[in-house]
Amino acid sequence: MYLHIGNDTLINKKDIVAVFDLDNSSWSHITRAYLTNAEKNGEVINAAGMEIPRSFVVTKTFDGKNRVYLSVLGSKTLLKRSLS
């Protein structure tokens, strides 16, 4: 099954490692360092388009690559969608 995270972006549910709320998690210097490092490594995919992202989804694909998807949807909304 797939999870729609906005702007025509689908993620395989079994690849999802974690879903984070940007407002609550970005105040931590560890989270900011992780996101900065992921962006430098080309692992960040902006699924929010021109809107302000509200959450990010960390995935690990079958070939071991990490991806960080920025989503315009909130983490609670993504959780509800993932359970259905």
Q: Tell me the whole-structure pTM to 2 decimals.
A: 0.92
CA gap 5, 55 in Å, rounded: 10
Cβ atoms within 10 Å of 30's Cβ, excluding its own: 8
The pLDDT of residue 46 is: 96
- Listed as ranges, residues in the chain with pLDDT below 50 are none
DSSP 8-state assignment for residue 73: S
The pLDDT of residue 39 is: 96
Query: Tokens representing 47?
Result: 């699924």
The pLDDT of residue 84 is: 76
* List of residues 6+ apart from 79 with CB closer than 8 A: 19
The pLDDT of residue 50 is: 93
The pLDDT of residue 62 is: 86
The pLDDT of residue 42 is: 96
